[in-house]
Amino acid sequence: MKATLALPSDDKRWRMVNATMRRHGYSSSALIEALHTVQQAFGYLDETALQYVAKSLRVPLSRVYGVATFYNHFMMKPGGTHTCVVCLGTACYIKGSPQILETLEKRLAIRKGQTTPDGKLSLMVAHCVGMCWLAPVVMLDDDVQAEATPAQAATKIQEWVSK
């Protein structure tokens, strides 16, 4: 029986992380599940979290880092307050989503996967958000912009960032 490690701080969210690991009997195979919980609770994975998970599950540090960076879903930095997702699935691509992405990248002066310096907006891409008939699709948090054009998306973002 492995002893439970002390939580990194008294932030309640660590208890959720610990609960996930406990549910899996602190097995090393619970690594991805544990990282999911960290991501969900904190929004990203920082060094404290990686250390904590590694020690609790007795997984080498480098393996934890390797797993965390292998999967797209895990973020190593905090995201913006808002997230804009440009769909680059096949249907959206052939209907012009790359142009939308390009316009937004220029307008926001960041590349895909990055967050604006003021921390307000992250610009992300997805490979099909499952609404192909509305292509090209841009999502602003939970808002769906159907049949988006570069100009429209840019205006919408501007509105949103200035909010």
Which residues form the interface with ligand FES (CB under 6 A)?
Answer: 87, 89-92, 128-132, 135, 137
> Distance between terminal CA atoms of the chain?
52
Binding mask 107-136 vs another protein (x if CB under 8 A, - otherwise)?
A: -------------------xxxxxxxxxx-
Of these partners, another protein, ligand FES, none, which one is at the site of residue 133 (CB under 5 to 8 Å by kind)? another protein
Which tokens go with 64? 């934890």
CA distances from 83 to 6, 22, 73, 78, 105 (A): 34, 32, 14, 11, 13
In angstroms, the CA 68 to CA 136 distance is: 30
Cα angle value 71/68/86 (rounded, 5°): 40
Stretch that binds another protein, among 4-12, 67-75, 103-111, 152-160 (CB under 8 A): 67-75
Answer yes or no whether residue 61 interacts with another protein by CB under 8 A: yes
Cβ 17 vs Cβ 37: under 8 Å: yes
Task: Tell me the HSE value of 26 on the side-chain side, using a 13 A CA sphere.
Answer: 14
Answer yes or no whether residue 5 interacts with another protein by CB under 8 A: no
Q: Cβ closer to another protein: 70 or 162?
A: 70
CA distances from 147 to 35, 109, 137, 138, 140 (A): 35, 24, 6, 8, 14
Shortest separation between residue 149's beta carbon and another protein, angstroms: 15
Answer yes or no whether residue 162 interacts with another protein by CB under 8 A: no
Of these partners, ligand FES, another protein, none, which one is at the site of residue 69 (CB under 5 to 8 Å by kind)? another protein
Among 29, 44, 77, 155, binds another protein (CB under 8 A): 29
Pairing of strands 143-145, 121-126: unpaired
Shortest separation between residue 142's beta carbon and ligand FES, angstroms: 15
The residues of the shown chain that bind another protein, judged by CB under 8 A, are 27-33, 35-36, 47, 50-51, 59-67, 69-74, 88-91, 93-95, 126-135, 144
